[in-house]
Amino acid sequence: MKITAATKITIARILLIFPTVAMYIVSQLVNVNWDTYVALTVVSAVLLALCLATDIVDGIVARKTNTVSDLGKFLDPLADKVAIVVVLFLIIYFNRGLDVFPYNSLIVALTAGIMTSRELIIGIFRAVAAKKNIVLAADIFGKVKTVILDIAVVALVLAPLHIAIGWIAIIAYYLGVFFTVFSGVNYMVKNKAVLHESTPQEGSEKQEVSEQ
């Protein structure tokens, strides 16, 4: 199987998750002075931002070279979701920068679980649609959700550095939670035919679905 240039970029994004996570863990565990802590935190945030931002790059390359592949369509959303979920749960574990108001860290933990459940539900929903050869329409709200959550999680990494960053991060995060739930419900309602009993249509083609 030939790996396209866009897929190679996606694989590089996945590999970048490991040093990103390692740097963030180091920044939280190592006992250093404030300036060093700031430097380590900023580096981990930059690595995460680079990992998430390159999602645009592999998409552009795939379209420009007309090399959209099934492997790329599988790995591309996986790279984003793994990075977001792992870093978000580490942020909750270390619980720094989340204390902008009482019980905020608890609410963040609960909503993170809700968002993870949403991704699992949508994944199963798509699998059922694929089995029935049902075409799924793209949803702009899924893209909006992804962009907002990317910004929010990067900001949450930087949140311990200043209370203002913490507030911006939390506002962006809860906005991302809203769009995550809304886009998931909207996506299923719009494509509710997937859940209806029907016979798969022979020879029907599947439409490429934008990231939800």
Q: Domains of the chain: which residue ranges?
A: 1-94, 95-212
Question: Using N-to-C axis directions, what is the helix angle for 34-64 and 70-94, rounded to 10°?
Answer: 160
pLDDT of residue 211: 47
Higher pLDDT residue, 103 or 200? 103
Q: What is the DSSP string of 174-191?
A: HHHHHHHHHHHHHHHHHT
Rounded Cα–Cα distance for residues 24 and 82 (Å): 15
pLDDT of residue 107: 97
Residue 170 amino acid letter: I
Position 204 pLDDT exceeds 60: no
The position carrying tokens 């070279």 is 65
pTM above 0.75, yes or no: yes
Distances (CA, A) of 68 to 62, 92, 115, 160, 212: 5, 36, 28, 40, 18
pLDDT of residue 1: 58
Work out the burial of residue 155: count CB atoms within 10 Å of its CB; fewer than 13 is exposed, 13-18 middle, 19 or more buried: buried
Contact 191, 138 (CB under 8 A): no
Rounded Cα–Cα distance for residues 111 and 106 (Å): 9
pLDDT of residue 10: 85
Distances (CA, A) of 179 to 15, 71, 109, 110: 28, 27, 17, 16
pLDDT of residue 212: 57
**pLDDT tens figures, 126-181:** 889 888 888 776 678 988 999 999 999 999 999 999 999 999 999 999 999 999 99
Q: How many CA atoms lie within 13 A of 171 on its CB side?
A: 6
Position 19 pLDDT exceeds 90: yes
pLDDT of residue 198: 58
Least-confidence region, from 26-35, 71-80, 154-163, 180-189: 71-80
For the CA atoms of the chain, what is the radius of gyration? Answer: 19
Position 31 pLDDT exceeds 60: yes
Tokens of 68: 């959209």
**pLDDT tens figures, 75-126:** 777 888 899 999 999 999 999 999 999 999 999 999 999 999 999 999 899 8
Taking residues 188-202, what's their average pLDDT? 73
pLDDT of residue 77: 76
Q: What is the DSSP code (8-state) at residue 102? A: T
